[in-house]
Amino acid sequence: MSVEKLTEPVITVTEEAAKQVAVVRQNEPENADKTLRIFVEKGGCSGLQYGMVFDEKRDNDHAVESFGETVLVDNFSADYLRGAVVDYHDDLNDSGFKIKNPNAKESCGCGNSFET
């Protein structure tokens, strides 16, 4: 009898964020068959910054299924994003995807870059 090791997903994607991913894929035919990738790269005013792009799945990607959408995270980014929540807000003054990252010690005012 084999025992599977249960692991927590790298990130959590809220229902609102998953709905917005679906909307973007519907409105952009070039991305209809691609998957949203959330990644971390060096840059920004705090040292690291978040990025999002529609992409193809690669070997060793973490795939997170949420509300009918899949989000990809590469191994490098997973180390910085583990436990993060990806949400989407459509407010008058503050619309867009938001990442609440428990690994970020400091974030810049724009919320797109952080320091660990």
User: 29: domain CATH number?
Assistant: 2.60.300.12
* 101 contacts 21 by C-beta, under 8 angstroms: no
Backbone angles phi, psi at 11, to 5 degrees: -130, 165
Tokens of residue 73, six digits = 């995270």
* Within-domain flag for 3: no
* Within-domain flag for 1: no
Q: Which domain holds residue 78?
A: 11-115
Tally of domains within the chain:
1
* Within-domain flag for 44: yes
- Separation of CA 102 from chain center: 14
pTM of the complete model: 0.82
Per-residue pLDDT of the chain (116 residues; tens, 9 = 90+): 444 444 678 999 999 999 999 999 999 999 999 999 999 998 766 688 889 999 999 999 999 999 999 999 999 999 999 999 999 998 877 789 999 999 887 665 555 555 55
